[in-house]
Structure formats: C-alpha cells, structure tokens
Amino acid sequence: MPLHLAAGQPRTLAYSEAIRKDIKLLEVDEGLLDELLQTGLHLKGAPGEEAVLCSGSKTFAVKTVETTNLLLLVPEEQTAAVEAAVEALGCQDVTVPQPTPPGVLLGLGTQIQKNQAAAQQAPVVASALVSSHLELVPAAPRLHRLDALLGEYQYGAEGGEEEAGAAMAADGAPSPSGRAIGGSFRGGYTEGELLERVQCSAAELRAGLVDHRALCLDGRYCAVDASYQGMLLELVLLTAVEHGWALGALPGARVAAALQPQGYDPRVTLHCLATYGARVGSASAALNAAEFEDGAAAAMEVEEQAGGSGAGARASGGNGCYALDEAAVCLHFARSLLQAQPDWELHDFEREWQQRVPEGMLPSLEMLRGEARRYGGGIGAAGLQHPLRIKHFPLSGLPQDAPSRFAALFAEQPRWEWEELAPYVQSLRGPGQTAEALLLKYARASQQRPTDPVTYSAR
C-alpha cells in the first residue's frame, strides 16, 4: 500500500493503541501467490509435528526467519484518509521545508517547520509489529502416516473388519459401508480424508497411493494384508499352470473369473496382478475367440467393478493381459523364507529360494536390496573359512526420519559400503538433496588403504 510520502512532505509515525504482534508474514514466489489467491494453500501438522505447507503438487517445510529490522504494518483502510489529507494540504498556503541534503544538520527552526508541515497530514499509524517471517523450503512429502492409516484397514486380515471399525471411530472418520465380495472387510479412507491427515500435496498423495499399492474399494483406500496377497499370488500362479497361461501374458478377466467362485473379489485379483506385474495388452489378442468366449461376461463384469478400484486397478481394465514381474514374484518367495527363518547360510537360502520360485524364473541377490543384507565370510582366528550368511533386514521396518534411521543402520552394522547402504537411505533425500549431503551430515567416511572401498560409520 503506498504511504504517499514525497520529498518535502514529512508525515508523523504513530502506533495504534492496540498494536498487534501475532501477525505472520509468508514469503512466496509468483506461482505460489497465484495458487494461493485462486485455490488456496494448506498448512498441515498435528500437535507435536513440524508444520508443512502444501500446494496442489508440492510440499514445503515452513521455517521461521528472524530479521534484524523491525517491520511496521499499516492497515489498508488509511489510504482514502491519506489521499484526502494530501489533497487538502495542496490547497493550503503552508510553507513546506525542502528536503535536508545529506550530511547537513537540521537547525531548530527547520525542525519546527517540518513538525508543522507533518501536523497538516494524517499520521501513518502502525497497527502491527513483525520481527520475523515464514520462509518455504521444498521438502519431500511426509508419507509415513499414509502407511499407518492404510495399515488400519487390512483387506483379508483376520479380524480386519472389527479393527477397522474401531480405528475409524477413534479417528473420527465415518462408519464403514459396503462389504467386499467374498471377504470379511469393509471400510477405509477416502482420498479427501487421507489428504486431511497426511502431510503432502494432492498430487503427491495420489503418487504415494500407487507406490504403496493401496487398494480402493467403493471409493475408500486400504492396504491388503501381506499374507492374504501372497496367498492370492500363489493361487494366481497355480491357476496359470492349470489353464496353461504364460506368466508373461495372463488374461486379467479370465484369471479374476476363475478365482471368483472361490470367494476372491475380481477387483482384488486385478489389484494383485497389477502389484506383481504390469498390463501389457489386450487379452483378445492373445486368446482365440473360442477361448475368450467363456470369459467375456466375466471381463465385462470386472471392467464395471474395476472402474473405481484404485491405484493398482485404475490403470488396468479387466480385458488386459498382465506380465508378472520376475523380481516382484521372486521377492515374494524370498520374503516368505526370510520371515519363517530370518538368518540363513547364503548357499542354503539360494538353493531353497530357487526351488520355491515358478519354473523359468531366476532369482538374484540383487532383488533383495533393501530387504536383506549379507554378512560373514573370510577366515576366522582358527584359520577356518566362515560361510557367507544372509539376514532379513527390511527397509519397511526402519524409522522414517533420517537421524533415527541412520542410528538404526549403524546399530545393526557399524560399517557399511555405499552399495549396501544406498537402498536404505535413498528415500530420505528431499528435493534437490544429494546422497552425499545426507552422508556428510549423518555418517563418517573412512578408507584404510587407497585400494580399499570407502566405508561409512556413525558420526
């Protein structure tokens, strides 16, 4: 707002009797300002959490920046009164002193003249004082609460319906409605309810739902119980063998139709196919007319039901073919082995793993990055060769914040090479942040000899 200050026209500065000190200034760029004025921005944070500001597509950490200069805020409604006073001053015969040149001291008479001239105008009244402002720093979406919220509603889990209803009541969400075909589950969160609770933008939430393989039934998102999903995958593999379907071209509609009489919701079956694979084309291109005829009705039904089936099935209609991903399927069987026995001799684990995976698939230890770690080997004090071992150490079980995660990593193993450490820390990087910056802050690099690999330990 212009203060109508001009050379030779001094004005008095006054403070409001009820001056405010609770106003916060927010620094934004032009793009954010336009979005703020058009659709609004959202500050999010529960008690005890650091607040973030979310636009439609980005998340920002909010930092308080102190200033050395005191900022005075003047209300906009003074404008009309000031303009009237300036106009009135122009009609009066008042001797207005000229501006004082730099380096020249004012005499007493000149000061009195300036005070008299200022008294002819309305004072500039400061209504608020500000000594800091809020600065926005691009940040990674904080999706850790999404895991917890989706985990409250485990499709296929024993007692999942009762637990989901209790969680909804405690969180203030509406009562669940609708029962999944053949399942004992109902409930979940809508996208709007998740957006209110998770510190991320709408675009980041939708991407997070896809990454977390969330299932959407009747407009509500939930997780799929890991044991249930693994069992469903194994049924899909058995069904494929029974019908002679190639794992690289599974007809989605026919797979869903084959499992529906056993009580499996076609939408969940399609979600399973999308979780462990990807859609590659139309089933009609891979099947002749006679083969597809008995699955056509089921395909139409699955298409209709999958119209709102969420992150996994939204991108996949019932008529498509799915190619199972070798790494995802092999990882499922590796997890089942590691959950049953967390620590193995590497040779025994590889032999058992190869026996479990479908014929034609080749498991590789590279598939276990972020899921297990190898250790051991070398020659012991007695000159005996120690066998290499593998231990279950999943990323999903580690803390979400960087200090706690690095502490957990170094508690598990004092020294890490970068190739081992990378899958456990890559997700901690914020926008524009490099892995080197993370390591510099939370780890110490060392190298015993120039030919040795660099290792990282706790600071």
Bridge partners, 285 (sequence order): none
User: Quick one: average pLDDT of 15-29?
Assistant: 87
3-state secondary structure of 129: strand
**What's the pLDDT score for residue 306?**
39
The pTM of this model reads 0.73
Asked whether the predicted pLDDT for residue 275 surpasses 50, the reply is yes
What Å distances lie between residue 403 and 147, 234, 438, CA to CA?
A: 20, 38, 10
Query: Does 166 or 225 have the greater pLDDT score?
Result: 225
Cβ neighbours of 189 (radius 10 Å): 27
**What's the pLDDT score for residue 280?**
87
Asked whether the predicted pLDDT for residue 88 surpasses 80, the reply is no
What Å distances lie between residue 251 and 54, 248, 280, 308, CA to CA?
A: 41, 10, 10, 20
When computed from its CA atoms, the radius of gyration of the chain, rounded to whole angstroms, is 33
Percent of the chain's residues with pLDDT above 70: 73
**What's the pLDDT score for residue 3?**
64
User: Quick one: average pLDDT of 236-241?
Assistant: 96
d(CA 354, CA 362): 7
Block residue for tokens 């290792």: 455
**What's the pLDDT score for residue 184?**
44
pLDDT tens for 161-189 read 444 444 444 444 433 333 344 444 567 89
